[in-house]
Amino acid sequence: MSLQFVADVGGTNIRLAQVVDGELAHIKKYLCNDFATIGEAIQAYFGEFPGQTFRAGCIAIACPVDQDLIKMTNHHWQFSKSQLREELGLEALPVINDYTAIAMSLPKLTEEHKAKIGGGEVVPDAPIAVFGPGTGLGVGHLLKTDSGWLCADGEGGHVDFAPNDEQELVIWRFLRDKYGHASAEEVLSGRGIVQIYQALAEHRGDFADLTDPADITERAVQNRCPLCVATLEQFCKVMGSFGGNLALNLGTHGGVYIAGGIAPRFVEFVKNSEFRQRFEAKGRFANYVSAIPTFIITEPEHGLIGTAAYLEQHTGVKQ
């Protein structure tokens, strides 16, 4: 039996699945740090199915993919696309950016796969934007063409962080002094949550003893720590401003989606935050942006869904 697989590779985890009769099957998740190379991780997945042969696959990965040599941004894995295909004995192995995969998943998501934040309505076949705070900050745009959906790749997570109030200026100065440059990823990511927390603590003269973004987030959601609450509130505001910028870039009346591993953990907090107000706070274009809907993706395997959609659209493998 000839099998196809898809892989969604982030800075922390690699998720793999088969595509069977148009559906994802046999989904497995491994820690990237458990394997020296991506090839070893994929071979471990293949080993779960003795006697079966994989002939094609598609990898979505969190880094630029325009060269044969792939070097991950937030992990030590690197590999040659052509050599990996030969190592795995595959006929086809396209490698796409992880946000290409996430963007490709968006037209396939149902209402059960996402939570709407604020107003606005989707315009069918209009451009779509997606961004996702996680280990890093991924960004993508999706455009409808005569031949299907086209994802506009880029590295939008590394644009300048643009402060919009005095508290964000405090965060900007903290990052500038630390790195020499303040990028959006250094705010809208797991380490970004920690850095907002540290910047606010330093400015207020508070004691900052937390180093795990999950701890900060949990205490904020449970209202157990005023500094943590302020941190997460600020994170949501920056997220709103950033999402509004993406909406303006390409007039994304198909919606702006939030992916990644962070925001889905506190959807209600985002709904009750100033996220949507900041999304719409675009001066003369406030009315324009207010018509654009925003969503948090709650389907955990949307990266694999989009990778399978790409495999179908570009190689003829049915999803």
Nearest one of 214, 162, 222, 216 to 187, comparing CA atoms? 162
Measure the CA–CA gap between 47 and 139, rounded to whole angstroms.
33
Q: How many CA atoms lie within 13 A of 85 on its CB side?
A: 17
CA distances to 30, 272, 298 from 269, rounded to whole Å, are 29, 5, 14
Q: How far, CA to CA in Å, does 63 sit from each of 77, 167, 193, 243, 272?
A: 11, 31, 21, 21, 33
Q: Is 138 annotated as a binding residue?
A: no
231 is known to lie in a ligand binding site: no
The sheet that has 294-297: what strands, in order across it? Answer: 114-117, 294-297, 256-258, 128-133, 137-145, 148-152
- Is 307 annotated in a binding site? The answer is no
**7: annotated binding-site residue?**
yes
Confirm or deny that 240 is annotated as ligand binding.
no
Q: Is 9 labeled as ligand-binding?
A: yes
Contact assessment for residue 223 and residue 263, using Cβ atoms and an 8 Å cutoff: no
Q: How far apart are CA 45 and CA 56, in angstroms?
A: 14
The dihedrals phi and psi of 200, each to the nearest 5 degrees, come to -65, -40
DSSP per residue over 251-269, as a string?
A: T-TT-EEE-SSSGGGGHHH
Place of tokens 């955990």: 300
Known binding residues for ATP are: 7-12
Known binding residues are: 7-12
